[in-house]
Amino acid sequence: MSTLSLRLPDSLHETAKTLAKKEHVSVNQLITTAVAEKISALMTEDYLEQRARRGKRKDFEAVLAKVADAEPDEADRL
């Protein structure tokens, strides 16, 4: 495990302490979780961009052509 010295604005530090207390975790755990969530989001974005580059419009339209033309359920209407 690594140690990281982190400088936070006082307001952000206070908010982190408040939220950590509310969540019954340490500030370290709160920040670790927040960093993990951000890394996951960025990696997901990269993954989806890579997948999108491999996609072909023709293949997309072929899949859509298989979908039945039907009215949406009442719960799905705007």
pLDDT digits (tens, 9 = 90+) for 11-70: 999 999 999 999 999 999 999 999 999 999 999 999 999 999 999 999 999 999 999 888
How many distinct structural domains can be found in the chain? 1
Contact 35, 42 (CB under 8 A): no
pLDDT digits (tens, 9 = 90+) for 17-27: 999 999 999 99
Q: Quick check: is 70 in a domain?
A: no
Q: Quick check: is 56 in a domain?
A: yes
Q: Quick check: is 57 in a domain?
A: yes
Q: Under 8 Å CB-to-CB from 26, ≥6 apart: which residues?
A: 20
pLDDT band at 78, cuts 50/70/90?
A: confident
Q: Quick check: is 29 in a domain?
A: yes
**Closest Cα partner for 32 from 69, 67, 4?**
4
Contact 23, 30 (CB under 8 A): yes
Report which residue type is found at 49: E
For residue 16, with 0-12 CB atoms within 10 Å meaning exposed, 13-18 middle and 19 or more buried, which class applies?
middle
Domain containing 53: what range?
A: 15-65
